[in-house]
Amino acid sequence: MTVGNTRHQARTLALQVLYESDIAGHEVSDVLQRYLEDQSEPQPVRRYVERLITGIQTDQQKIDQQIGDAAPTFPVDQLPAVDRNILRIAIYELTRESDVPMKAAINEAVEIAKQFGGENSGKFVNGVLGTIANGLASSH
């Protein structure tokens, strides 16, 4: 399994965990544990999902602030849960996973948004992440 495949699977699984937690109000750690018990995911996928979830939980306030700054007309708590959590995953990767190329994180997020989100999710996610990526690039 390639690194790209591993990460794609991990991002998709992380989205499912975050989405359930968001919608049903279940503890993220409980949902993650159940998913990892239920799934027959390879070890690298499991490790990356855990890393994503843990990192997002640790940085969620900061990540949500970045979403709010990049899309001020769309309150974070009013965004569709799929879009909100795709953005959280991508922003975590953009800001904390230095071995994930910026373009790869954005492209993946857009693809996942097109797959799981609404009609305009791909465009919205791309716009928000483009704004954040520009800000990150200018601060480095």
- Run means of pLDDT, 10 residues per run, the chain, 140 residues: 86 97 95 86 92 96 97 95 98 95 96 97 97 84
Number of domains in the chain: 1
Whole-number pLDDT of residue 1: 67
| DSSP letter string, the chain | --HHHHHHHHHHHHHHHHHHHHHH---HHHHHHHHHHH----HHHHHHHHHHHHHHHHHHHHHHHHHHHH-TTS-GGGS-HHHHHHHHHHHHHHHH-TTS-HHHHHHHHHHHHHHHS-TTHHHHHHHHHHHHHHHHHHH-
Provide Rg for the chain, Cα atoms.
14
d(CA 14, CA 118): 18
Q: Which domain holds residue 104?
A: 3-139
The contacts of residue 131 (CB under 8 Å, 6+ apart) are 70, 71
Q: In CATH, what number is assigned to the domain containing residue 73? A: 1.10.940.10
Amino acid letter at 24?
A
Q: Within a 10 A sphere around the Cβ of 13, how many other Cβ atoms?
A: 21
d(CA 140, CA 135): 9
3-state secondary structure of 56: helix
Whole-number pLDDT of residue 137: 78
